[in-house]
């Protein structure tokens, strides 16, 4: 793995996950104010994300199972340099949602034991044509 990502290797606990709408500056906590989850980056460049709403309940029926699917994200792939400093591309090879396969560009900022990962401006189906910037804040678990 490239030296530029060496400080990101390890296990990280989710602190927050949200979208900020580019047109208004409004921020939405996608999985509430206290989401749950982890990110792990290995020495080989394999990254795994699994996070979502806290206090998810066991499903009782198909509607509950569909709701659980919408209350989480999970994917894995290999990261590589994206060109700009403090950026990486994840080549997603397995995801909770097959539509997420392929390359995803992310920007990051590391300050002490906190890691902020953001998306470029993009649209997401749940919000139509509005542009958002996603942000995920992590705390190093293995420091």
Q: Tens digits of per-residue pLDDT, 82-134?
A: 878 899 999 999 999 888 889 999 999 999 999 999 999 998 777 788 999 99
For the domain 3-140, what is the CATH superfamily, name and number? Protein HRI1, N-terminal domain (2.40.128.320)
pLDDT higher than 60, residue 21: yes
Structure tokens at 138: 């992590």
Torsion of Cα atoms, 22 then 123 then 8 then 115, to 10°: 30
Residues in CB range of 81: below 8 A, 6 or more apart:
2, 4, 87, 88, 89
Q: Tens digits of per-residue pLDDT, 38-96?
A: 999 999 999 999 999 998 889 999 999 999 888 999 999 999 998 788 999 999 999 99
d(CA 15, CA 96): 21
Instruction: State the pTM of this model.
Output: 0.90
Chain-centroid distance of CA 63 in Å reads 25
Task: Give the other-Cβ count within 10 Å of 54's Cβ.
Answer: 14
């Amino acid at each position: 793995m490239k030296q530029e990502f060496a400080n990101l290797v390890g296990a990280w606990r989710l602190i927050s996950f949200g979208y900020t709408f580019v047109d208004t500056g409004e921020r939405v906590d996608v999985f509430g104010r206290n989401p749950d989850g982890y990110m792990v980056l290995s020495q080989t460049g394999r990254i795994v994300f699994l996070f979502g709403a806290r206090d998810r309940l066991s499903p009782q029926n198909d509607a509950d199972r569909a709701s659980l699917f919408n209350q989480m994200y999970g994917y894995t792939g290999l990261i590589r340099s994206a060109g700009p400093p403090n950026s990486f591309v994840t080549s997603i090879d397995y995801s909770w949602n097959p539509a997420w396969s392929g390359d995803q560009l992310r920007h990051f900022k590391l300050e002490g034991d906190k890691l902020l990962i953001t998306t470029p401006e993009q649209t997401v189906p749940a919000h139509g044509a509005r542009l958002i910037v996603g942000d995920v804040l992590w705390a190093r678990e293995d420091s």
